[in-house]
Amino acid sequence: MKFGVVIFPGSNCDHDTYHVVSKVIGQPVQFIWHRSTSLDDCDVVILPGGFSYGDYLRCGAIARFSPVMQAIKEFAARGGFVLGICNGFQILCESGLLPGVLLRNKDLRFICDFVSLRVEDNSSAFVGQYNKHQIIQLPIAHAEGNYFCTNDELTELERENRIVFRYCSEEGLVSSQFNPNGSISSIAGILNKEKNVLGIMPHPERISEDLLGGTDGRKLFSSLSLHIAGLEKLR
């Protein structure tokens, strides 16, 4: 099993993500440069947080045209697992690997905070270790996290159980009061149709060790690792 972490010019959570995969989860991981046209033999590719290409034009809009994204599109089409965190989520939306777009936060401010999330569905490979409706606390740090999609797309996301995380209160109540950025339907993370591509706005890699204040994010990485280990056994 191997993880890959993509580095775009302006990525700044690449080393944190690498650290969690290699030291906390204990799995092999390599960096992948944005000019790379191959993902080697990675089973999982992570698009980390940051400000790829300075957020010029629109967040994630320029990263979408980097050579590595073509390889990632082919990888995803073959069923490879792709996880986009924060700016990574924005890139996945711009690339069309996920529906919708992330707009400026409704109050226009950059928000750096801890939020509660409800795990809406735990049937995908990314979140198998969480319980359904489990409440977790993850940090957010973004100015453009206000998820938006058409009503048809929202209906489809709901019908196909592709909304994985929603912002909520500490008790798990989902309402506009506990929605930090104005996201439609309080969405914090969604899957593609085939459920092998996940975009999440909060930062699980920043909360995967007790030393850093909690471990609620760790299961995002360990779920994938266990899922792939299971697949390898079957081979």
Partner 1 sequence: MKAKVYVTLKKGVLDPQGKAIHHAAETIGYNSINGVRQGKYFEIDINTTADLAHVQNEVERFAKEVLSNPVIEDYRVELDQL
Catalytic one among 144, 168, 203, 227? 203
Q: Which two tokens stand for residue 112?
A: 């750096």
Q: Which stretch binds partner 1 (CB under 8 A): 54-62, 70-78, 130-138, 168-176?
A: 54-62
15 is catalytic: no
Query: What is the C-alpha to C-alpha distance for residues 226 and 10, in angstroms, rounded to an integer?
Result: 31
Q: Which range in 6-14, 69-77, 92-100, 157-165 contacts partner 1 by CB under 8 A?
A: 92-100
129-158 residues in contact with partner 1 (CB under 8 A) are 146, 148-150
Residue list 58-77, contact with partner 1 (CB under 8 A) = 58, 61, 65
Does residue 205 carry a catalytic annotation?
yes
Site string for partner 1, 169-208 (x = CB under 8 A): -------------x--------------------------
- Compute the Cα dihedral for 202, 199, 79, 10 and give only its sign: negative
Which range in 47-55, 104-112, 195-203, 208-216 contacts partner 1 by CB under 8 A?
A: 104-112
Shorter beta-carbon distance to partner 1: residue 146 or 225:
146
The catalytically annotated residue of 13, 42, 59, 86 is 86
Render the chain in DSSP notation, one character per residue: --EEEEE-TTB-SHHHHHHIIIIIS---EEEEETT-S--TT-SEEEE-SB-GGGG-SSTTTTGGGSHHHHHHHHHHHTT-EEEEETHHHHHHHHHTSSSSEEEPPTT---EEEEEEEEE----STTSTTSPTT-EEEEEEEES--EEE--HHHHHHHHHTT-EEEEEE-TT---SGGG-SS--GGGEEEEE-TTS-EEEESS-GGGSSBGGGTB-TTHHHHHHHHHHHHHHHHH-
Told to judge if 42 belongs to the known catalytic residues of this protein, a careful annotator would answer no
211 near partner 1, judged by CB under 8 A: no
Nearer to partner 1, 41 or 107 (CB): 107
Distant-in-sequence, close-in-space partners of 204: CB < 8 Å, separation ≥ 6 = 20, 85, 138, 216, 217, 218, 220, 221
Q: Is 107 in the site for partner 1 (CB under 8 A)?
A: yes
94 binds partner 1 (CB under 8 A): yes
| Contact string (CB under 8 A) for partner 1, positions 5-44, x = contact | ----------------------------------------
Chain residues that interact with partner 1, rule: CB under 8 A: 57-58, 61, 65, 93-94, 99-101, 103-108, 146, 148-150, 182
Q: Which residues are catalytic?
A: 86, 203, 205
